[in-house]
Amino acid sequence: MSKNAEPAARPELSYEQAREELVEVVRKLEAGGTTLEESLALWERGEQLATTCQQWLDGARQRLAEAQAGHEEKPN
């Protein structure tokens, strides 16, 4: 997502849900014992979850920047 692009619609999962599932996906991949097909499916899901987490973080960063900018614009 570029800095000038409109933010995407809010992801279906919360940041915490996506992060928790991503941790579980990584744990399964690191443990091994899965077939190549299962590993690829886990990797793809992990990529989706990482994107969801990044969208939440980008949105939070933007909200903080806007709040700081609004605070700086107000006279004391």
Bigger pLDDT: 5 vs 27: 27
Cα–Cα distance measured from residue 17 to residue 13, given in angstroms and rounded to the nearest whole number: 6
pLDDT digits (tens, 9 = 90+) for 23-72: 999 999 999 999 999 999 999 999 999 999 999 999 999 999 999 998 77
Give the model's confidence band at 8: pLDDT under 50 very low, under 70 low, under 90 confident, else very high.
low
Q: CA separation (Å) from 35 to 19, 24, 32, 40?
A: 24, 17, 9, 9
* Domain range summary for the chain, segments of one domain joined by +: 15-73
pTM for this model (two decimals): 0.76
What is the model's pLDDT at position 38?
98
